[in-house]
Amino acid sequence: MRKHIFVVATVILGLVALRTEAQDVTGPARALADSQIRAWIADPMVIDAVKAQNAKHAGLTQAEIEGLDQQWRSETGASSQPLIDSVLNNALSRHLRELKANGRGLFTEIFVMDNKGLNVGQSDITSDYWQGDEDKWQKTYGAGPDAIHISEVELDESSQTFQTQISLPVLDPATGAVIGAITVGVDAEVLTQ
């Protein structure tokens, strides 16, 4: 019993120490945004994919967006996933998976959203398709070309790591207009090492 209590206490103290270290991620997150993520969103592949989806979804109503989001959510546990597959199997998603893999454990997820907050490409399945009601999209897409949103550090239950999300607007290089957004999940412990 004592050994069990000691192990639990050690794990808790380790998580508390990690949480304390991981809380101060703003500086390193901004540096990562400037050194890598801004280059990613300037890539013509990203720009073209966002523009194409913006054109495709130009006429969507809010009810249709919510219907697509509901379809996505229902597909996450289903054997047939046509909407999810259409996003996960596109060229941009393959590219984002490569970026994630090249991060050697730094990146936990990467996804790009259109001008409505719908996923254009992603490295991993997200729990929902529409991000437009969340800070990651609202505080970047809706905040202008210089916006950056760095989320609070939170424990990710599936990986048991503390993570933050760095979100930036995607810009049309010809006009400087905001056309979408990117969110990059980052392992806070790796980021602050």
Query: 57-97, pLDDT tens digit by residue?
Result: 999 999 999 999 999 999 998 999 999 999 999 999 999 99
Q: Given a cut of 90, is residue 186 above it in pLDDT?
A: yes
Beta-bridge partners for 170: 180
Residue 134 DSSP class: S
User: What span, in angstroms and rounded, lies between the C-alpha atoms of 191 and 98?
Assistant: 19
| pLDDT computed for residue 23 by the predictor | 55
Contact predicate 159/143, CB 8 Å: no
Q: In one letter, which amino acid is 115?
A: N
Query: 142-169, pLDDT tens digit by residue?
Result: 999 999 999 999 987 766 789 999 999 9
CA-based nearest residue to 50, from 90, 15, 77: 90
| pLDDT computed for residue 5 by the predictor | 55
Could you give the percent of the chain with pLDDT greater than 90?
Answer: 81
Contact predicate 130/117, CB 8 Å: yes
CA-based nearest residue to 69, from 146, 128, 19, 2: 128
Q: Report the pLDDT averaged over residues 19-37.
A: 81
Output the pTM of the full model: 0.86
User: What span, in angstroms and rounded, lies between the C-alpha atoms of 48 and 36?
Assistant: 19
User: What span, in angstroms and rounded, lies between the C-alpha atoms of 141 and 158?
Assistant: 28
Q: How far apart are the first and last CA of the chain?
A: 35
Residue 52: count other Cβ atoms within 10 Å of its Cβ.
14
User: What span, in angstroms and rounded, lies between the C-alpha atoms of 192 and 125?
Assistant: 26
Domains defined for the chain, CATH in brackets: 2-191 (3.30.450.20)
Contact predicate 127/139, CB 8 Å: no
